[in-house]
Amino acid sequence: MAKKKRRSMLYIPGNNPAMVQQAGVYGCDAVLLDLEDAVALNQKDAARILVRSMLKTVNFYKTEVCVRVNNLQTPFGLADLEEIVPMQPDNIRFPKTESVQDVRDFMKEVRRIEKEHDIKDPKMTIHVMIETAKGVANVYDIASCEPRIDAITIGGQDLTADMGIIKTPDGAGIDYARKRIVMAGKANNLDVLDTVFADVNDEEGLKEETEYIKKLGFAGKALINPRQIDPVHEVFNPSEKEIRKAYRVYSEFYKNTKAGIGVFAIDGKMIDAPVVQRAITVLEYANIDIKDIEKSVDLSD
């Protein structure tokens, strides 16, 4: 089955009904209904009740729905889980994860609530956020400790604050953390998602940063404004040339596999498993189902 696209994940303040009710029509791959930093301390109760109520009723269409709860060390984290876990959004984002023990404590509460609500075989997955130097140091262990984690993400603003540095446009201060988190995620077959780009008026800067994180291996980026969706998709979407090449690679791969041939060449270049895997990824981003390619391949010669 094709992996879900997570090129764009738009943060929406959990206490803003106008934005939450429209979340499914912005055109982003996922929405992050935020109960944490986007909500004032004296409105935490209102936000979690509103998000719970919206999850019951609102149609988010094909947009993946993730809820960012507060950390369990705060007075709000457990109350958030009590309201949100029974609703089973697609995923819950767990902020400021620093250790394996943090994940275990979090999952203990999630599983308890699911059991109390008789939720069998839950499909809701977990996104862990790495936002402290300690979290970066422990990231491989965190990424590998819980099978329901399917994405790992870097929180750039909190991380730079924790490190006592300023977040610069070139991202120098978080470059090591980005690369370390990508490796930990890839080693565990997780999607790795990038932090926000704070200047909503700087479209060129957003594109540059997105080009960079795409090269590093990130699957997508968190956004803070719907205006940022199209520029990010533009970067992540493959070009026509890339799609044509991927189509040809996969067609030839399918044909050769049917003939019992493992490695073959196109225009003198060797095509092996990693090249085929890259082609499949390009086709997924282009919304082309490989089953349709298989049907169209002529196996007669």
Partner 1 sequence: MTPKFKAQAGTFESSDIMVLIEPVDEGTGRQVDLSSTVMLQFEEDIKATINQVLDAMNVGHVHLIAKDKGALTPTIKARVETAIKRSLGIQEGTL
Question: Residue numbers of the site for partner 1 (CB under 8 A)?
Answer: 16-18, 21, 42-46, 49-50, 52-54, 56-58
Minimum CB separation of residue 47 from partner 1 in Å reads 9
**CA angle in degrees (0–180, nearest 5) for 48-138-157:** 50
Residue 42 or 201 having the CB closest to partner 1: 42
Residue 13 or 155 having the CB closest to partner 1: 13
- 3-class SS shares of the chain: helix, strand, coil, % to 5: 50, 15, 35
β pairing state of 269-271 and 264-266: antiparallel
Q: Which of 98, 38, 42 is nearest to 71 (CA)?
A: 98
Over the range 64-77, which residues count as b (16 or more CB within 10 Å of their CB) and which as e?
bbbbbbbbbebebb
Minimum CB separation of residue 54 from partner 1 in Å reads 5
Residue 75 or 260 having the CB closest to partner 1: 75
Q: Which of 147, 124, 3, 132 is nearest to 65 (CA)?
A: 124
Distances from the Cα of 43 to the Cαs of 71, 80, 158, 297, in angstroms? 16, 12, 21, 58
Residue 21 or 99 having the CB closest to partner 1: 21
Minimum CB separation of residue 17 from partner 1 in Å reads 4
Minimum CB separation of residue 61 from partner 1 in Å reads 16
Residue 5 or 48 having the CB closest to partner 1: 48
Minimum CB separation of residue 74 from partner 1 in Å reads 13
